[in-house]
A and B are shown apart, each in its own frame.
Chain A
């Protein structure tokens, strides 16, 4: 029979060992913070004074107001003018400019007539972090320019719909990730990285050090060992996530717009699937080194194919197929929905079913491979 006493003893022992292993413990708390700071600051440093070129086919009060607004926003620094598309493309490609603003011919006249001409803002989005702040500031700048200039006889034109629009053309990175978009993905990666590796190593350590032999020579049940060893790491996952979310909220202003309950449910599922994967890896490895290597091996596709690094929709079919088999892919979508898109439970059932299915497969294989002997 499953013995709570034995399970409790394994659990307690695991906590004591975790507490004594200061380096690992520090790493478990340190990794999420470090990653967040690295990624977060890279993204949110919100670069100012980015070199900007102007291609001006018209001029007038509205144009001047828009350009002045851009300049005073501090995001854009005008470094010159261009006269052709080839010229501006070259500048963006070379990186001598991060933006090109194109004011089309007859802009002022069309705006006054309500023809809604288009200002084109071409951005070098190959570095989304660099472009995102400026790009999102653009809407506000335009609104201010409209309110300032379209007074008096032109007042009618200030009413919605606005008299002109801004098209933003992101080159080299169509999805144009933003800070807030990367943070949820980062959570998926960090949890996967630490949960899988730590569980795998913790279990293999017993085999490698020989303590597993004495442990399974006692009447302890496999389930007691498995749960006793895994549950402490569920708590580690909780702590990591808590630290991460708090830091994301207060350091980087990442919103949490959706349902906490939905997040909590999905997040527990994700932790368990990663622990199960760690357990599976531990049944495949003979040494802590091997466990570490296999964990790293699984980490690569998690980073590259989950949609964290590259937009999922932009990947070739085979890469999407592999990506779909990775729990992080679904958790990442789930977290983006919940954190950024005000998602609630019904919105994430699809993602959760996918994770649950993957978990089912992993647990089945792990239990098939787990032996209560040394064979």
Chain B
């Protein structure tokens, strides 16, 4: 029996499409009430993993529980208590906003359906457009409607697949406020995202690349776990400097943020040597910096491409 405070606990999840292992021996533990971020480059297997967790795909290997129910045999029970927001818009474009929400409400056999739908429409600010066809909404509004739809039945676990893609900053902020409120009430949230500003809002993160989990842990600790040291540099003619640094030994990666470069490497001593050589020229301002998530993920993605060539060679 699993520790009861785990909302998701899966081990060794594997999914094969054709002869490609799309998810490979994936483990994940998400405590109840946590906000758990799920990151990884395009095509790394995030959507596939989430689908296996709520019973939409049958794993080729592995096992686990969601909300205490077995993902292999009790997906029906899981579906009752999970709100899943698909990556692709999956409400009916030829139904109105209200009809869509109402339909979802009926699927969960909600008793106070009408009240909940009205409330959701008010919260969304779509009450006066309730009769509009969902297909005629703008991309961001579709996203917000889909989110409201998957929360309608007050699920204990939310599986959100890139819920804020294409959503404006204000709405994203509102969305994260709502997520934190739900989390405080004990709702568990697993959210996949490509945004760093969203990743830092999570209690914990998992990073997946080419089907394999590379790292997971509390958001703040991930850069330390990787062991990156980072320098921040700005000054004149930053383009030339960037090009030069990219070929300098000891420099693992250079990331550009506007007029600023973040220069990192895993070998701190080698990086420091390279930086001291630069500092002597006194052309730029160098400052040591704590490695952030951004650097960490850029580092992971660079590693993943090695992972990919290996992968591609096998396929």
Q: Do A and B come from one complex?
A: yes
Cβ of A218 under 8 Å from chain B:
yes
Whose C-beta in chain B lies nearest to the C-beta of A221?
A: B76
Which residues in window 355-375 of A have CB below 8 A to B? 373-375
The interface residues of chain B lying within 8 Å CB-to-CB of A216 are 56
The interface residues of chain B lying within 8 Å CB-to-CB of A217 are 54, 56, 79, 82, 84, 86
The interface residues of chain B lying within 8 Å CB-to-CB of A374 are 51, 56-57
Encode B54-95 as 1/0 by CB contact (under 8 A) with A. 111110000000000000000010011010101011111111
Q: Which of A3, A210, A373 contacts B109 (CB 8 A)?
A: A3
Cβ of B108 under 8 Å from chain A:
yes
Query: Contact: B92 with A13, CB < 8 Å?
Result: yes
Known contacts A373-B56, A375-B58; A20/B88 CB under 8 A? no
CB distance from A243 to the nearest CB of B (A): 25
Q: Which of B89, B95, B106 contacts A210 (CB 8 A)?
A: B89
CA distance A13 to B103 in the complex (A): 7
Number of interface residues of A (CB under 8 A): 25
Cβ of B104 under 8 Å from chain A:
yes
CB distance from B147 to the nearest CB of A (A): 12
CA distance A210 to B57 in the complex (A): 15
Known contacts A214-B90, A218-B108, A374-B56; A9/B103 CB under 8 A? yes
Cβ of A17 under 8 Å from chain B:
yes
Cβ of A169 under 8 Å from chain B:
no
Which residues in window 180-228 of B have CB below 8 A to A? none
Q: Which of B95, B99, B107 contacts A219 (CB 8 A)?
A: B107
The interface residues of chain B lying within 8 Å CB-to-CB of A8 are 106
Query: Contact: B99 with A16, CB < 8 Å?
Result: yes
CA distance A16 to B54 in the complex (A): 29
The interface residues of chain A lying within 8 Å CB-to-CB of B89 are 210
Whose C-beta in chain B lies nearest to the C-beta of A216?
A: B56
Whose C-beta in chain A lies nearest to the C-beta of B102?
A: A9
Which residues in window 1-36 of A have CB below 8 A to B? 3, 5-6, 8-9, 13, 16-17, 20-21
Number of interface residues of B (CB under 8 A): 30
Cβ of A147 under 8 Å from chain B:
no
The interface residues of chain B lying within 8 Å CB-to-CB of A211 are 90-92
Query: Contact: A21 with B88, CB < 8 Å?
Result: no
CA distance A172 to B314 in the complex (A): 66
CA distance A17 to B51 in the complex (A): 27
Secondary structure type dominating chain A contacts: helix
Known contacts A218-B79, A220-B107; A13/B95 CB under 8 A? yes
The interface residues of chain A lying within 8 Å CB-to-CB of B106 are 5-6, 8-9
Encode B25-60 as 1/0 by CB contact (under 8 A) with A. 000000000000000000000000001001111100
The interface residues of chain B lying within 8 Å CB-to-CB of A13 are 92, 95, 99, 103
Which residues in window 88-132 of B have CB below 8 A to A? 88-95, 99, 103-104, 106-109
Cβ of A213 under 8 Å from chain B:
yes
Query: Contact: A5 with B84, CB < 8 Å?
Result: no
CA distance A20 to B135 in the complex (A): 12
The interface residues of chain A lying within 8 Å CB-to-CB of B104 are 218
Which residues in window 203-230 of A have CB below 8 A to B? 209-220
The interface residues of chain A lying within 8 Å CB-to-CB of B86 are 210, 213-214, 217
Query: Contact: A17 with B54, CB < 8 Å?
Result: no
**Chain A to chain B contacts (Cβ below 8 Å), 11 pairs:** A13-B99, A16-B99, A210-B88, A213-B56, A213-B86, A213-B90, A214-B86, A216-B56, A219-B79, A220-B107, A374-B57
Interface residue ranges, B against A (CB under 8 Å): 51, 54-58, 76, 79-80, 82, 84, 86, 88-95, 99, 103-104, 106-109, 133, 146, 149
Interface residue ranges, A against B (CB under 8 Å): 3, 5-6, 8-9, 13, 16-17, 20-21, 209-220, 373-375
| Known interface pairs A3-B109, A17-B95, A214-B91; 12 further A-B residue pairs with C-beta atoms within 8 A, sorted by A's residue number | A6-B107, A9-B103, A16-B94, A17-B94, A210-B90, A211-B90, A213-B86, A217-B54, A219-B107, A220-B107, A373-B58, A375-B57
